[in-house]
Amino acid sequence: MASALEAVKALASGFATTFMHLFRKPITEEYPEYKRVLPARSRARIILTRDPDGEERCVACYLCSAVCPVSCISMQSAEREDGRRYAAWFRINFARCIYCGLCEEACPTSAIQLSPFFETCEREILKLVYEKEDLLVSHQGKDKEYNFYKVAGVVTALGGKGEHFREDPPVDIKTNLP
Amino acid sequence: MTLYTCLFYVLAVAIVTTTGIAITQRNLVHAVIYLVFSFFGSALLFYLLGAPLLAALEVIVYAGAIMVLFLFIIMMVKMESIEERMPPLGQWLPAVLCGILYLALGAVVVYTAPGSEFPLQTAMATPVELGKYLFQRHWLSIEIVSLLLLVAIIGALHLGKRKETGGTEEP
Amino acid sequence: MLTWSLGFLILMVKLGAVLLFLLLAAAYLVWLERKFLARLQVRYGPNRAGKYGLLQPIADMIKMLTKEDTIPEGADRVIFLLAPAVVTVTALLMFAVIPFGGDLSFLGKRIPMVIADLNIGLLFVFALSSLGVYGIALGGWASNSKYSLLGGIRGAAQMISYELSLGLSLVPVVMLAGSFSLVDIVRAQEAYPFILVQPLAFVIFVISAMAESKRIPFDLPEAENELGAGYHTEYSGIRFGLFFLGEYVNMQVLGALVAVLFLGGWSGPFLSGPAWFCIKILVVALVMIWIRGTLPRLRYDQLMALGWKVLIPLALVNIVVTGAVILI
């Protein structure tokens, strides 16, 4: 008898809880009308950023392409006259991309980054193949400061041998002679 | 031929056909479905003959409950397909003999019974009348039948009762 | 001949009206259930198709009608195709004996607001609900899938078990009214609805009727997280739609039966008979959705124990007590 009473009490409290829910405002966020601001580091559409000087960061090292688990990144490297490497073309197939972020982790120059923008649906699948001009943006993304060629020790217009950040001048090997 | 006679013959043919198919079907589920149709036909026949309560009970008890139990058991048990072969003579000969005897007797009874040439008056047994008739005139037989069912229930309970000694009991 | 054809015409009109009402009400009952359940769960529910999602049933209907009707390999074709129809037809036919209101008079004739006032009306409903099991059991068996088969077996066992308590719980009502006809049962409640004198029968009836219509605390035959979708796992398109329709028509039947048997049917002050009847059905449906939004699914042994060890003995005791009270 006591257990029956307990059961009735438990049932009643359950029904009361759901009844109270009727008068609460639904917690649903109605998506197309209300768009929640996503955190800066959430992983969605991939962008190619530029360094603070406005030059392309990508040096076409193929690391992102190699690490990509679904092989959706492809590119062709080229070299400018001043010694900077760049991608002659750069292509990401977003129909295959799984937004894992491994390319961003692999990138030595902070060029490839994932941005919070996710509304990339298309009716035609080929429109999801993004070329370099679609990917390239005119800002630095999440990494505002980094400029690869200022620290890399590669001779470019940004500096000759020994002129980079924390780089000693080149050793004159002849001074080592006895 | 009145409308009722027509309906009667249609129903009778349907019942006999479905029962025949139910007996000869090798697919057990199909056989059960044909049997359900047969019971359904008998229920309609009861309704036609003026016994709506019996018709409803036939559908509820036979078509609705007992046949579902049949179906349940057939679905639970994995059926091996029986190979097509004739049963031995010793099995089917007595069955055929009994069948012929039954048919002959039935024919004799139908054709020689007194009053078989007069059509019977259609009666209408409403649930109230049927209940009063049963429980006022035949209360003893009803009590005996219900006692029989009670005995069957107790017997089933006894057979199905778990042995107290074997294994741990679920709390 | 003229009266005969007039009667036939009236019957056809009644049939058409009831069928149309049932199908429309079933469609909007789905909407109501989704909306109300959503609010119980602090969500909005469908709100995209039309204002407040009111066009959602139409969108769903178009989707179901235009989807491909797949038949799994190895299925028993004929039974597979017929099973959904059995569920829907038995559910729809139950409304043939349910009275919607008092008599209307039209051209000097009395027209009862019921399609067929059978003197075995209640038994007719039971017979159809026990035939409805076949749609589930055979649909599950014919799909040639283990989830469907398990769902079908569970459905058959559950519905047989609860049919007993369903029938037994209504014996006191029939004893009080002295008739199986649903019209007479409503007439017998003119002084007071039977829920006041038979609260136990009411509770037993509602529980076992919910189990009979496989609604959520008793939805073991289609338990999504164990069996895919149970007996209708393999169905698609309009055949799945028929199962769905049958389920919601069953919900209306349940509401109508509760209204007729315990809440006094069409009778009520101020409003007309059919209006009161609809309100009572709606209230029962809302309570059922509330129950769905609150209670978790029973385990199989709990289901069987509730049916056989609690509801049936209680119903039997109720019959004996009612009989004794009537005799005294």
Give A79-116 as a DSSP string. E-TTS-EEEEEEEEETTT-----HHHHH-TTS-EEE-S
Q: Give tens-digit pLDDT for B123-160.
A: 677 778 888 888 888 889 989 999 999 999 899 888 88
Structure tokens given for A80:
């400018």
pLDDT-based confidence at A98, cuts 50/70/90? very high
Check B29 against C141: CB less than 8 A apart.
yes
Q: How many CB atoms lie within 10 A of CB C223?
A: 18
DSSP state of C271: S
Check B56 against C79: CB less than 8 A apart.
no
The CA–CA distances, whole Å, from C70 to C92, C152, C274 equal 25, 19, 41
Q: Which of C130, C149, C178 sits opposite B75 (nearest CB)?
A: C149
In a domain, B118, yes or no: no
Residues of chain C in contact with residue B63, where contact means CB-CB under 8 angstroms, are 127, 130-131
3-state SS of C219-252?
CHHHCHHHHCCHHHCCCCHHHHHHHHHHHHHHHH
Rounded to a whole number, what is the distance in Å from the CA of A40 to chain C's nearest CA?
Answer: 28
Domain boundary among B48, B79, B110: B79
Dihedral (CA of C258, C264, C265, C269) sign: negative
Contact by Cβ (8 Å): C155, C133:
yes
- The Cα C46–Cα C53 span in angstroms is 5
Determine contact: C120 vs chain B, CB below 8 A: yes
Check whether B165 has a pLDDT greater than 60. Answer: no
- Report the DSSP beta bridge partners of residue A48: A112, A136
Q: Give tens-digit pLDDT for C91-144.
A: 888 888 888 877 776 666 677 777 777 778 888 888 888 888 888 888 888 888
The pTM of the full predicted model, rounded to 2 decimals, is 0.78
- Report the DSSP beta bridge partners of residue A89: A76
Residue appearing with tokens 């229920």: B43
Kindly state the percentage of chain A with pLDDT values over 70. Answer: 100
Q: Are residues B69 and B132 in the same domain?
A: no
Weakest mean pLDDT among A64-68, B7-11, B90-94, C100-104: C100-104
Check whether C160 has a pLDDT greater than 90. Answer: no
Residue appearing with tokens 């257990």: A3
Domain boundary among B42, B63, B79: B79
Check C79 against B63: CB less than 8 A apart.
no
pLDDT-based confidence at B48, cuts 50/70/90? confident
Question: Beta strands A85-93 and A129-130: pairing type?
Answer: antiparallel
Q: Are residues B73 and B4 in the same domain?
A: yes
Residue A159 φ/ψ region, left for φ over 0, alpha for ψ in the -120 to 50 degree band, beta for the rest: left
Measured in whole angstroms, the distance separating CA B30 from the mean position of its chain's CA atoms is 17
Q: Give tens-digit pLDDT for B35-47.
A: 888 998 998 888 8
The continuous run of DSSP H or E covering B111 comes out as: helix B89-112
The stretch C168-180 carries a mean pLDDT of: 85
Check A30 against C43: CB less than 8 A apart.
no
What is the overall mean pLDDT for chain C? 84
Residue appearing with tokens 């029939």: C174
Check whether B53 has a pLDDT greater than 50. Answer: yes
Backbone angles phi, psi at C110, to 5 degrees: -85, 125
Interface test mutation site (partner C, options B75, B79, B132, B157, max chain C beta carbons within 10 A) = B75
In a domain, B106, yes or no: no
pLDDT value of residue C126: 86
pLDDT-based confidence at C26, cuts 50/70/90? confident
Instruction: Of C124, C125, C98, give the one whose Cα is nearest residue C113.
Output: C98
Number of B/C CB contacts below 8 angstroms equals 76
pLDDT value of residue B168: 46
The CA–CA distances, whole Å, from C327 to A141, A163, B151 equal 88, 113, 28
The stretch C136-161 carries a mean pLDDT of: 85
Q: Which of C40, C47, C295 sits opposite A22 (nearest CB)?
A: C40
Check C160 against B72: CB less than 8 A apart.
yes
Determine contact: C314 vs chain A, CB below 8 A: no
Residues of chain A in contact with residue C293, where contact means CB-CB under 8 angstroms, are 18
Structure tokens given for C230:
């149970």
Domains of chain A: 46-145 (3.30.70.3270)
The stretch C177-192 carries a mean pLDDT of: 82
Q: Are residues B6 and B70 in the same domain?
A: yes
Check C290 against A17: CB less than 8 A apart.
no
The stretch C157-174 carries a mean pLDDT of: 86
The stretch B13-40 carries a mean pLDDT of: 87
pLDDT value of residue B81: 60
Helix, strand, coil shares, percent, chain C, to 5? 75, 5, 25
pLDDT value of residue B169: 42
In a domain, B119, yes or no: no
Interface partners of B (3+ CB pairs, < 8 Å)?
A: C
pLDDT value of residue B151: 94
pLDDT value of residue B170: 43
Q: Give the chain B residue whose CA is nearest to the CA of C164.
A: B65
The continuous run of DSSP H or E covering A121 comes out as: none
Higher pLDDT, A19 or A158: A19
pLDDT value of residue B171: 40
* Alpha helices in C67-216, H assignment, sequence order: 77-93, 121-142, 146-177, 182-188, 194-197, 199-212
SS3 C254: helix
Residue appearing with tokens 């492809």: A74
Amino acid identity of residue A11, one-letter, is L
Q: How many CB atoms lie within 10 A of CB A140?
A: 18
Instruction: Of C192, C171, C165, C160, give the one whose Cα is nearest residue C262.
Output: C192
Check A21 against C40: CB less than 8 A apart.
yes
Instruction: Of B36, B109, B104, B93, give the one whose Cα is nearest residue B66.
Output: B36
Backbone angles phi, psi at A112, to 5 degrees: -90, 125
ipTM, 2 dp: 0.80
pLDDT value of residue B85: 65
DSSP state of C272: -
Rounded to a whole number, what is the distance in Å from the CA of C261 to chain A's nearest CA?
Answer: 25
Angle at C104 between CA C103 and CA C108, to 5 degrees: 115
Q: Are residues B75 and B130 in the same domain?
A: no
Structure tokens given for B160:
């199905």
In a domain, B70, yes or no: yes
Interface test mutation site (partner C, options B60, B70, B153, max chain C beta carbons within 10 A) = B60
pLDDT-based confidence at B25, cuts 50/70/90? confident
Contact by Cβ (8 Å): A49, A139:
yes
Check whether B166 has a pLDDT greater than 80. Answer: no
The continuous run of DSSP H or E covering B43 comes out as: helix B28-48
What is the count of structural domains for chain B?
A: 2
Amino acid identity of residue C328, one-letter, is I
Question: Beta strands A73-79 and A85-93: pairing type?
Answer: antiparallel
Range of the domain at B134: 126-160
Residue B123 φ/ψ region, left for φ over 0, alpha for ψ in the -120 to 50 degree band, beta for the rest: beta
Interface test mutation site (partner B, options C130, C168, C184, max chain B beta carbons within 10 A) = C130
Weakest mean pLDDT among B57-71, C109-123, C211-225: C109-123
Angle at C169 between CA C165 and CA C88, to 5 degrees: 65
In a domain, B100, yes or no: no
Check C119 against B33: CB less than 8 A apart.
no
Q: Show me where the domains of chain C are located.
A: 66-327
Instruction: Of C85, C109, C125, give the one whose Cα is nearest residue C11.
Output: C109
Task: Write out residues 164-183 of C within 8 Å (CB-CB) of B.
Answer: 167, 178-180
Q: Do chains C and B touch (3 or more CB pairs under 8 A)?
A: yes
Contact by Cβ (8 Å): B79, B28:
yes
Q: Give tens-digit pLDDT for C237-252.
A: 888 888 888 888 888 8
Q: Do chains B and A touch (3 or more CB pairs under 8 A)?
A: no
Check B72 against C179: CB less than 8 A apart.
no
Check C41 against A21: CB less than 8 A apart.
yes
Q: Give tens-digit pLDDT for A162-172.
A: 778 888 888 88
Determine contact: C231 vs chain B, CB below 8 A: no
Q: How many CB atoms lie within 10 A of CB A121?
A: 8
Task: Write out residues 66-85 of C within 8 Å (CB-CB) of B.
Answer: 76, 79
